[in-house]
Structure 1
């Protein structure tokens, strides 16, 4: 899987590496933008803020009432105070850039609190701040665009993790993947395959476990062909198919063991009630239904103890002799129940009264 998707690192490792590289590059680009910047014009920013605060901004000087700001007005007023005191305005690029960083934190905090409307108003102001910075420094636009591009690549990791979910249809995930850039696709692959590898690693060891079985769903078959690294889709499919064949060959060599199925059959027989079969064959349908319903209710409550649980607990013991003795005992119980069923059928065929007399001893 790691080779097929060209994803030798975990999704966390990829995300941390991409984030670190983005931040280092951003520091260099924004440093150059600040160094080459001229004065900033914050008037369009103030005008955008005052569309919401005016005439409320006048209350700072001469309040007309005691009505306070709501959370949206309060946030916008804080941004306004960072760039103007009512008489003078910020003209230094670095001062406005720090205000922009503070504004970014305010938007992130509002989104985390579920305050979508407040985040929306602040985002409108942020766009005006970015325009003012770009107009003051042509290099700032390049820094901003580069940061946004790198951030979208990092987001691809989380998008790949989400696409693995069974709630996402392959048609939608493939369409999303095809719309990405090459860098975004590689980040997507890392996020997509990492939880799949984790699922495979969590499976139990041993020849009875087919680790490739879960990879053969229709969703995976379509997505693997679309998401695999360039030129590796066919090899990936062949390897998964070969893993399946290896398991089938090994399973056949071991005698096609059906232990789980057999234990399930034993469990069904453990709950067999001869009264149900007797009532059915003698035409007493009502009593047969009542008896069957009562037995199902008892099984649902866990009464009597289930044979599969007892066998399972014994099989995990470290003493092989104990496990063998348990299996022999279950086999003997199975034979006794088969004999009991034969007696019931024979008794019913000879008459209901005779059948009861033969069974009771």
Structure 2
């Protein structure tokens, strides 16, 4: 070794000496602690999980209690203890408490393995019970999917909580989630299979209805309708208060109720027959119900348009008699010269011409002779003699009005227009002679407009009238005119309703055209009430139409199948089997025992039919929802009982 080599060795030795820690450990050693060793803060000495386990005892009760804690916290109880220690005393105390808790777990598992596993399973049932109501879907596949999801979450949480270090926790989470998902998805199928065996066994030896199947069918229909039991009960109760006591649970469930009712009717039996009879009778009563709703909506009071117009005319006459009597008592002489000028403007050019005028001229000549004496009949020296008595002038005016009415009815519009000019002049003359006449005349005119509004309502209901125009005219009327127009409108709707005489036709459908809906919304007394009633009638019709209407092919096939099953059944299946018709034999055997396999019987269908026809859904649905919830919780707990042991068995 030369001088340079000696110097290099000395430098290397010096470097190693500088890199060696001179800090003395608390247990008297130097350098880093060996793997798995850590400080016991209480003694200041180094220790390990194995050393702590050597001096740790375990009891049956303590093991069970600690197992329950681990199950409840998804295996994170040891981390929770370590966190508390860390907060109190820092990282060394936290590490020691973690290792101490895990050493206790090792001792528990070694000395009392059954108690340790049982405690963990019992503890894991606590969060499982909380998730049990969420673990049941609308179908078996839905329930299996939910069970797989919940089981996977639980398994991943337990796997992560039981692992050590990042790799251990990740691997534990993946393994636990996989096992938990498989078991959680399979548990509902096992439970369903067990029920599928028990229910048919019970149904095969009893004729009593299956409360479970009825309850499940009702709850399924409620869920499919997207409504709550309170919503359905409130709607049925409201229908009863608004004159539709025939509206039942199946109608409030909308399409879900239609499907259940249709299935029961087509399945036959006492329940199907009772439900079909109810639907048929209810539909036969629809015309009377809808007619009553129209009567209420348009304030008809049982009257037709013609009867209302006649009543209004009679009332106008009585009021006019009283008003005109009062006007006569204080009347002055009437000046009819303005009325005579109206007549002369029309017939003056014809006088003395030798040309015969038209019918209008003849009428005006006759009225002129009643208002003034002809010059040829005047005494010598008298220039004119005109009618001035109030009563007689009023009589002439009323006679002219009668002619106007006849002309309008006959379509002689020009005659009505020319005679109307004379009436206006006579009215003006009479008003000048009596202050009370103007008020009586205004009252008569208003009453006449109300009478005319009845026919206006009739015209509004005609299809050729646009809703925008009819609504505007209606809204421009006085309240009295609107009331009369409603009667004319409603009477026309009733006539249209009576024209549809098919027993199964939906009388309410015509009231839902865009035109009628818009006009009813603006013209009816209570639009929202009418709308609710019509909606319910459509819902009731839809139920009976789905259950009883449509093509009868499906019914015929069902009848044939039922007959064949009754006449042949298992005996026919055995005969086919003897003739080597194995396929037909199997088909007939399945048809004969199918209802038993499904746990169905006629009593169950009958009970479901009566439930759907219930007028008190609260009494039917509330117990069903409550019991189904309890059943779901029980099924969830059973599934959890199946998940936890299997997961514990397969999770390292």
State the 1:27 CA deviation. 0.8
Q: What is the Cα deviation at residue 55 of structure 1?
A: 5.0
What is the aligned counterpart of 2:432 among 127, 135, 144? 135
**Residue 358 (structure 2) aligns with:** 70
- Give, in angstroms, the shift of residue 179 of structure 1: 0.6
Distance in 2 (alpha carbons) for counterparts of 1:204 and 1:47 = 59
Q: 1:259 to 1:93 in 2, by over 3 A?
A: farther
Match for residue 453 of structure 2? 156
In the TM superposition, structure 1's runs of 4+ consecutive aligned residues that sit over 4 Å from their partners are none
Closer, same or farther: CA 72–12 of 1 in aligned 2, 3 Å: closer
Identify if the C-alpha distance between structure 1 residues 197 and 138 changes in structure 2 by more than 3 Å, giving closer, same or farther.
Answer: same
Deviations 1:95-145 (A, max 9, x none): 111111222223233334443333322221221111110000111111111
Distance 2:495 2:419 in 1: 40
Aligned equivalent of 1:9, options 291, 302, 306: 302
Q: C-alpha distance in 2, partners of 1:74/1:196?
A: 44
Q: Distance in 1 between matches of 2:306 and 2:536?
A: 30
- SS of the aligned residue for 1:2 comes to helix
CA distance in 2, matches of 1:103, 1:29: 20
Gapped regions of structure 1 (runs ≥ 5): 60-64, 263-361
Tell me which residue corresponds to 1:333.
Answer: none
Matched, 1:84 2:372: yes
Contact 1:29 1:139 in 2 (8 A): yes
2:405 paired with 1:101: no
In 2, are the aligned partners of 1:153 and 1:184 still within 8 Å (CA)? yes
1:227-238 to structure 2, matched below 5 A, reads 227-229=523-525, 232-238=526-532
Q: How many residues align?
A: 251
Q: Deviation of residue 82 (structure 1)?
A: 0.7
Q: What secondary structure sits across from 2:449 in the alignment?
A: helix
Match of 2:481 among 171, 184, 191: 184
User: Higher relative contact order by CA 8 Å / sep ≥ 6: 1 or 2?
Assistant: 2
TM superposition shift of 1:194: 1.5
In the alignment, the residues of structure 1 paired with residue 471 and residue 460 of structure 2 have an alpha-carbon distance, to the nearest angstrom, of 9
SS in 2 for 1:54: helix
Which structure has the bigger radius of gyration? 2
Q: Deviations over 1:204-261 (max 9, x none)?
A: 464x3322122211111111111110xx11111111011111111222333x52359x
1:166 lines up with 2:463 in the alignment: yes
Q: 1:249 to 1:81 in 2, by over 3 A?
A: same
Report the CA distance between 1:202 and its aligned residue.
4.3
Deviation string for 1:65-87 (max 9, x for gaps)?
Answer: 53223333322221111111133
> Which residue in 2 is equivalent to 1:34?
328
- Structure 1 segment 257-296 matched on structure 2, within 5 A: 257-258=550-551
The TM-score with structure 2 as length reference comes to 0.37
Q: Is contact 1:9–1:190 with CA below 8 Å preserved after alignment?
A: no
Alpha-carbon RMSD across the aligned residues, in angstroms, is: 2.2
Deviates more, 1:163-172 or 1:115-124: 115-124
Distance 1:173 1:69, change over 3 A: same
Q: Which runs of 5+ in 2 are unaligned?
A: 1-293, 376-383, 556-652
How far apart, in 2, do the equivalents of 1:184 and 1:22 lie? Answer: 14
Q: Please give the alpha-carbon distance, in whole angstroms, between the structure 1 residues aligned to 2:534 and 2:386.
A: 65
Q: What is the alpha-carbon distance in structure 2 between the residues aligned to residue 222 and residue 107 of structure 1?
A: 36
